[in-house]
Amino acid sequence: MSVNLSDNSYLGLKVEAIEGTAVKPDKFIPLISESIKTNPNHVADRRMKGNPFKSDDILRGERSHEGDIVIFSDANNVGHLINMVLKKGVTTGDATNGYTHPFTVGDPKTYTIEVGKGIYAQRYFGVKGENLRFEFVDGKMQATLSIKAMGQFSVGALSEALTGAGMVSLKLNQEYDLNPNTGLCVGDVVTVGGEDLTVLTVDPDGVTVTFTSATVTASIGDPVRLKKQTPSYANLIEPLFLGNTLVGVGADETAATISAGAKATAIPTYSLVWNKLANLLSAPASGSMDPIQLLPQTKEGEITISRLMESEVQHLDWLNRVKQAITIIATGKAIGIGVETLTWRFYKVKLITNEEPLEVGAYIFDNQTFEILYDTSDAKAMTVELVNRVIGTDYE
């Protein structure tokens, strides 16, 4: 019996040059967990055929591909997750003292991502982030990215047999899709008949894949699986920590950022969670069984904070719906004269809840949930600035 350990898996990703056109992932991030699923929407064929049983077959429906990726957020890797939910601006800086990447609310880049699963890889292309959530687990910043994708390739099946020496191409059957080779790329390795074959071309006919002449024998219906890559983590750094994060609250963004600029003025927070939701439109349309586009709709987000209650002011601000601003600055290690930094600025927030529960022998806390709002005076809701060692073209 062959069994496979999850610890042998990986997450690979790469920005797509053309939205929805797969590329071979070449950057790797260690996973905490992953739960992406393809739903082919199989349903019983309920047509009347003179059969007294419910059905004699299954029909395909409109497909979807979605789920969560969970990682520890370090200053290098987290940029790719942010790049899937926000729009990157112009990168400045250099490798000596760090690159600065600004992000604003807007249409993000699409990615191809790949997850190692046992003896094969599951690849998703046209990937964007539906929601990006940050929280601290045992003091370490953890990011959960909920993604949606425009398609996938993991394993197909032969429609024609491979008969031994001199094989230079294979054809995939169309039981899953009329263009089953979509998602494969030049340079991929596929395994069929026990042989590893390096892809030379992915034919526009949608079914044919060519490779260097090889000796391979396989029957119609045999699986053609995408082989896992060997991940490399040469530039892996430690995650960002709650202990190195400062939270500033003020009447506006300027005051909040000044507050977050020093430990003496920042607000000590005992728990901190924030998320940005894109509400992606991901519906199949004519020409595709999969979502043909992933379009961000109305954006939203919220912040949850637990802090010691020091006065009645926050309770009053909750009752009166008073505008506040929040800046979160997480710092890491030095880069030359610079420093790894992840800064989130929220220009206008208002309290949805402000609970002050009482427990015997415990301090009273303000357990707060803020709605992130659009600030008409600043003409924005949030901005992000990331300083790290990653050249800007890696996000482009």
Is residue 378 very low, low, confident or very high in pLDDT (cuts 50, 70, 90)? very high
Looking at the fold, whether 100 and 145 belong to one and the same domain comes out as yes
Q: Is residue 135 part of a domain?
A: yes
Domain stop point among 223, 249, 273: 223
Answer whether residue 3 shows pLDDT above 80. no
- What number is the average pLDDT over the span 358-387? 96
Helix, strand, or coil (residue 173): coil
Looking at the fold, whether 264 and 204 belong to one and the same domain comes out as no
pLDDT value of position 162: 97
Domain that holds residue 132: 10-37+63-150+234-395
Q: CA-CA distance, 237 to 220, in Å (whole number)?
A: 47
Looking at the fold, whether 134 and 182 belong to one and the same domain comes out as no
Helix, strand, or coil (residue 221): coil
Domain stop point among 203, 223, 243: 223
Looking at the fold, whether 383 and 298 belong to one and the same domain comes out as yes
Looking at the fold, whether 383 and 287 belong to one and the same domain comes out as yes
pLDDT value of position 205: 96
Looking at the fold, whether 238 and 302 belong to one and the same domain comes out as yes
Domain stop point among 223, 255, 274: 223
Helix, strand, or coil (residue 311): coil
pLDDT tens column, 21-35? 999 999 999 999 999
Cα radius of gyration (the chain)? 25
pLDDT tens column, 232-249? 998 899 999 999 999 999
Q: Is residue 52 part of a domain?
A: no
Q: CA-CA distance, 22 to 182, in Å (whole number)?
A: 8
Answer whether residue 284 shows pLDDT above 80. no
Structure tokens at 286: 């004519």
Residues 6+ apart with CB under 8 A from 321: 350, 351
Largest CA distance in the chain: 81
Q: CA-CA distance, 285 to 64, in Å (whole number)?
A: 12
Q: CA-CA distance, 142 to 74, in Å (whole number)?
A: 9
Contact 93, 75 (CB under 8 A): no
Answer whether residue 229 shows pLDDT above 80. yes
Looking at the fold, whether 134 and 179 belong to one and the same domain comes out as no
Structure tokens at 102: 């600004």
Looking at the fold, whether 165 and 274 belong to one and the same domain comes out as no
Q: Is residue 46 part of a domain?
A: no
Answer whether residue 157 shows pLDDT above 90. yes
Looking at the fold, whether 188 and 322 belong to one and the same domain comes out as no
Answer whether residue 227 shows pLDDT above 80. yes
DSSP string, 26-75: -EEE--SEE--EEE---EE-----S-SSS-S-EE----EEEEEEEEE--T
Report the amino acid identity of residue 183: G
Looking at the fold, whether 141 and 179 belong to one and the same domain comes out as no
- What number is the average pLDDT over the span 109-136? 96
Residues 6+ apart with CB under 8 A from 18: none
Looking at the fold, whether 85 and 202 belong to one and the same domain comes out as no
Is residue 272 very low, low, confident or very high in pLDDT (cuts 50, 70, 90)? very high
Position of tokens 């020496």? 165
pLDDT value of position 235: 80
Answer whether residue 130 shows pLDDT above 90. yes
Looking at the fold, whether 316 and 366 belong to one and the same domain comes out as yes
List helix spans (H) across the chain: 78-83, 253-259, 313-320
Q: CA-CA distance, 198 to 187, in Å (whole number)?
A: 6
Instruction: Determine how β-strand 64-72 pairs with β-strand 33-34.
Output: antiparallel
Instruction: Write phi, then psi, for 350 (nearest 5 degrees).
Output: -135, 150
Q: Is residue 55 part of a domain?
A: no
Q: Is residue 5 part of a domain?
A: no
Mean residue pLDDT across the chain: 95
Q: Is residue 332 part of a domain?
A: yes
The single-letter DSSP state of residue 194 is T
The single-letter DSSP state of residue 233 is -
Q: CA-CA distance, 105 to 297, in Å (whole number)?
A: 11
Residues 6+ apart with CB under 8 A from 366: 305, 306, 307, 308, 309, 314, 315, 354, 355, 356
pLDDT tens column, 44-89? 988 999 888 999 888 888 899 999 999 999 999 999 999 999 999 9
pLDDT tens column, 315-347? 999 999 999 999 999 999 999 999 999 999 999
Residues 6+ apart with CB under 8 A from 359: none
Supply the pTM of this predicted model: 0.93
Instruction: Write phi, then psi, for 316 (nearest 5 degrees).
Output: -65, -40
> Domains in the chain: how many in total?
2
- What number is the average pLDDT over the span 156-184? 96
Answer whether residue 1 shows pLDDT above 80. no
Answer whether residue 283 shows pLDDT above 80. no
Q: CA-CA distance, 54 to 157, in Å (whole number)?
A: 28
